[in-house]
Structures are given as C-alpha cells and as structure tokens.
Structure 1
Amino acid sequence: MLLAVQGKLMILSKKMKGQSQRTDKTWLQRLESLHPYETLLYLAMIGSGLIFLFLVVAFISSGLHQLEGLNHRMPNAFLISTLLLILSGYTATKMRLYYQEEDIPKLESSLRNTFWLGLAFTVLQIAGWKELGDMGIRFTGIPSGSFLYVLSGIHVLHLVGAMVFALLLLMQLRKTQDDGVQKLLLVTNPYEKMRIRLFTVYWHFMDAVWLVLFLLFILSF
C-alpha cells in the first residue's frame, strides 16, 4: 500500500515538473516558437512603438503648451476621424469572430468596413492638416505645431500599410465566394487564421497609438 502511494506521488511529481518546464519558458524561447510572420510583426510593432515614444518625448520637450492662448482649437476633422478609427477597431474585432464561425460573407463585409473606415480616417487626417494651416499652425512654424503634422503623418503611413494588407485579404476572400474548395482551405488553414489575427492585432495597435497621440494633441491646445 505504502509503495503504491509513493509510486503515485512520484508520477504526480514528474508530471508537475514537466508542466513547470513547459510553462517556464523565457520570452526568447517564446519568440523563437512563433511563426516568422508573427515575429516580424511584433518586432515591427516594438520598433514603431519606440519611434512614436521618441517623437512624443520630443514633442513634450519642445513645449507642449506653446499653442495655448493663441485661440487655436483641435481640428474637427481630428475629432471625427478618432470616432471612425474607434469604430474600425470594433469592425476589426468582429473579423476574428466571423472567421471562427466560418461566415465568409460577414468576414468580408467586416474587413471591407474596416478598410473604408481606415480610408475615411486618412482623408480626415488630411482635412485636419488643412484646418491646422487655416489656423496659422504651419509645418515650418513653432515646434509644437510641426510635431502635430509629423506624429499624425507617421501614424497615417503605418495605417496605410495595414490598409494595403486589407485589400490583399479582400481579394483573396472574393475568390473564395464561389469556390467551395478555396473556402474550405481558408477556414481550415492555421496560416490563414494567423493572418486574420495578426491584422486585427496590428489594427488595434494603430488604434491605441492614435488615441495616445490624440490625448496629447488635446493637451497641447
């Protein structure tokens, strides 16, 4: 009886040790286990985050409140574009749900809505730059004004990259509408699932970056 209990305890101890070894992976080991595309995206996001962090620090150091007292206000286009980008984050989230449900038409519709909202955001950013110019805030003017253009412009460039990828996904989804084999491959391929997930992760990252920038812009006026 005692030997049997000891044997069970040893087996349980080995199992717990094995689980501990599997969970105690370093961040480098976890990074190495990722798909190369995942690794590239996460490294790119880290790099982009550092760029924005550097620019934000420079923006604050240049005098965050230089625009105060000059009767300037936040461009209306920036306000509207922020609401649209938040809405696009919701439509991007729905993409993963529709993929899991294997509802390709809704997946395509959600992706299309995300793309159009991103395009509208981009157009409104350009309109916002025009509003800044009409208020006398030029790119070559005071440092705080210049950073408004630089930070929002770099963010738009990052978002355009995601929009190009969205177009490629839309073209692929369009091909699967009338082809049952292509649809089956799409919903069962882990690689395709990863692409959808990475797109939504990057899009939400861009949402978060803009919200931080938007709050800083509000503080500068």
Structure 2
Amino acid sequence: MVKFKENPTLLQRIENLHPYETMLYLGMLGSGLIFLFMASAFLFSSRALLAGMNQNVPIAFLISTFLLVISGFSATSIRLAYQEENTNKLLGSLRTTVILGMIFTILQVVGWYELKAKGIEFTGIPSGSFLYVLSGIHIFHLSGAMIFGLILYFQLAKSRKDEVQKLIIHTNPFEKMRVRLFTFYWHFMDGIWLILFLLFVLSF
C-alpha cells in the first residue's frame, strides 16, 4: 500500500523553525502591529490641519525613499552573491546596503529639520507629531538591521582570506539562514517605509 507523505501543519512548521527565525518573525509581527496602530492613529488625527498648511513633503524624505528603494535591490544581490559563492560581490552588496541605510537615517533627521522649518513642530498638531514618531520608530527598527549587517559583514570579511572558512561560510545552513533573514527583514523595512511615505504624501 502506497503511503502519501502528509504536508506539515502550520504548527509543525513553526516548531521546525530555528530560534533566530522564530524571534525575527515574532519581532516583525510585533513591529507590523505597532506600525499599523500608529499609522491608523495618524490617519484619524487632524490631517486636515496638516494639509491646510500648504506645505510639501520634505525633500530629504523624497531622497531617502529613493535611496532605500535602491538598497532593496542591493539587499537582493546579497542573496544572489551568496548562492553564487561570490564572497567579494557578497561583501560589496552588503556594504552598499548598510551604507545606504546609514545615509537614509541621516536624511530622515534632515527631514525633521525641514519639517520644523515648515512650521510643523513635534509638539504641534497631532498629525505633525506623528510624522516625527513614525519616522523615528522606523529608524529604530532599521538600525537593528544595520547593526546585524555590520556584524555579518566583518565576520564574512574575516573569513574571506581563509579558503576553509570561506567554504564553511557558503555551505553552512546557519550562515545561509542568516543571510536570508537579513535580506528578508531589510525588504520588510523597505515596504513599511514605502507605505508610511505614501501616507505622508497623501496627507500634505
């Protein structure tokens, strides 16, 4: 009698996850709920007052959004380089992604000064305050990804000159998982910001 292999249930799949994966997915779920709550509060705040100020979205927010989109492509190339076992390309893509993330963070702060110059204060109208809060929370979450990216970069760079370590890096399932989780989380933060930026644009 032929026995068909049963597909694992959702609970079984969760149980089979590595603890790092579990923590990341739970963290992303928590972060998503935080952003959903804050974005909903922003939508129901006094956005009419913000629109009535006849101002535009800060130029720094526009530039930073463009750079973050580019960083999404460089994050994708990290996984491709890992699959190709191209350490130099992997390190280059990882370095580019983190640097773009740092520039994005700096431009976000510049955007806060632009908001202040436009008369939109942190302690002013509620919708204006949410612009700072949502941007700040996103920076906080993205900073975690950048710190992990830097750790990953220096560990990979250290093993580049050792052929044995280099082979281990590219064949170790744990390392593959770390690269995958980093790129997945980076794309998640990209998507969160694009949604927030769209809300900002529609509110001015």
CA distance in structure 2 between the aligned counterparts of 1:106 and 1:175, rounded to whole angstroms: 15
Which residue number corresponds to residue 132 of structure 2?
A: 149
Amino acid at match of 2:194: L
1:62 to 45, 62, 65: 45
Structure 1 vs Structure 2 CA RMSD: 0.9
* Aligned partners of 2:94 and 2:149 also within 8 Å: yes
Q: Tell me, yes or no, if the aligned pair for 2:46 and 2:125 is still in contact at 8 Å.
A: no
- In the alignment, structure 1 segments of 5+ residues that lack a partner are 1-9
Aligned partners of 1:39 and 1:158: how far apart in 2?
17
Aligned counterparts of 1:104 and 1:65: Cα–Cα separation in 2: 51
Cα distance in 2 between the residues matched to 1:84 and 1:215? 16
**CA deviation after TM superposition for structure 1 residue 71, in Å:** 2.0
CA separation in 1, counterparts of 2:42 and 2:187?
Answer: 23
Q: 2:70 aligns with which of 87, 91, 94?
A: 87
CA distance in 2 between partners of 1:51 and 1:78 (Å): 21
1:216 aligned onto 2:199: yes
How far has the Cα of 1:70 moved from its partner? 1.3
Runs of 4+ more than 6 Å apart: none
Q: Which amino acid aligns with 2:147?
A: V
- Residue identity matched to 1:150: V
What is the CA-CA distance between 1:69 and the residue it aligns to? 2.5
Please give the alpha-carbon distance, in whole angstroms, between the structure 1 residues aligned to 2:60 and 2:107: 5
Amino acid at match of 1:120: I
Q: 1:197-218 CA deviation, whole Å, 9 max, x = no partner?
A: 0000000000000000000000
Q: Equivalent residue for 2:152?
A: 169
Cα deviation, 1:165-201, whole Å, max 9, x if unaligned, reads 0110111111112111110110110000000000000
In 1: Cα distance, 2:45 partner to 2:9 partner: 39
Match of 2:82 in 1: 99
Amino acid in structure 1 at the alignment position of 2:13: R
User: Which residue is 1:203 aligned to?
Assistant: 186
Amino acid at match of 2:10: W
1:6 corresponds in structure 2 to none
Is this contact kept in 2: 1:88–1:118, CA < 8 A?
yes
Q: Based on CA coordinates, which of the two structures has the bigger radius of gyration? A: 1
> Which of 110, 119, 137 does residue 93 from structure 2 map onto?
110
Q: Match for residue 140 of structure 1?
A: 123
Deviation at 1:106, TM superposition (A): 0.4
Q: How many residues of Structure 1 are paired with residues of Structure 2 in the alignment?
A: 204
1:12-67, CA deviations, whole angstroms, 9 ceiling, x for partnerless residues? xx2xxx23x2x2x3322211111110011000000000000010111111133321
Asked if the contact 1:85/1:121 (under 8 Å) is kept, the reply is yes
State the Cα deviation string for residues 78-116 of structure 1 (Å, max 9, x = none). Answer: 000000000000000000110011000000000000010
Which residue does 1:5 correspond to in 2?
none
Q: Following the alignment from structure 2 to structure 1, what is the Cα–Cα distance between the partners of residues 48 and 186?
A: 30
Distance in 2 (CA, whole Å) between partners of 1:173 and 1:112 is: 11
Opposite residue 45 of structure 1, the aligned amino acid is M
Unaligned runs of 5+ in 2: none
